[in-house]
Amino acid sequence: METMGRHIIAELWGCAVDKLNNLQYIEQVFIDAAHLAGAEVVKVAFHLFAPQGISGVVIISESHLTIHSFPEHGYASIDVYTCGVRMDPNVAVSYIAKSLEAKSSEMIELPRGMGEIQIRTRRALKGLSSS
């Protein structure tokens, strides 16, 4: 298997607070996001903290998706990392941002497994969820 990978680091702000604290919802969003991107899901592990906040991961054959949610700040910290050239991690990140109703976001893409780590692309969006 090739070491080459694409790792998107996304900071989502202004998310729907109730969704950021809904374990079943977030777990399903992440599984669906992996499938939408064409990934094969290998392991799923999510945890709801007291009094609030969720951490979780979906391990895929092509690497992983993770979330750490902070409902009290409307913030979710997202990673989507895919190996190979077949998959586009942006598909998964966009679906997650939309599902959490993020009002703004910042995303960077890092190449992995290719030598020096550089920020390849940077996107900042406002009004992702304007409806």
Q: Tell me if 72 contacts a copy of itself by CB under 8 A.
A: yes
Q: Tell me if 86 contacts a copy of itself by CB under 8 A.
A: no
Is 84 within 8 Å of 6 (Cβ atoms)?
no
What is d(CA 113, CA 131) in angstroms, rounded to the nearest whole number? 39
Q: How far is CA 61 from CA 3, 42, 72, 124, in A?
A: 13, 6, 33, 29
Residue 17: alpha-carbon gap to chain centroid: 17
Strand partners, 10: 78, 107
| List 21, 63, 90, 94, residue binding a copy of itself (CB under 8 A) | 63
Q: How many CB atoms lie within 10 A of CB 15?
A: 26
Q: Tell me if 50 contacts a copy of itself by CB under 8 A.
A: no
Site string for a copy of itself, 22-41 (x = CB under 8 A): --------------------
Point out which span in 15-23, 28-36, 55-63, 88-96 binds a copy of itself (CB under 8 A).
Answer: 55-63
Which residues would be at the binding site for a copy of itself (CB under 8 A)? 1, 3, 5, 7, 9, 11, 42-47, 49, 53, 55-57, 59, 61, 63-64, 66, 68, 70, 72-73, 75, 77, 79, 81, 83, 106, 108, 110, 112-113, 115-117, 119, 122, 124
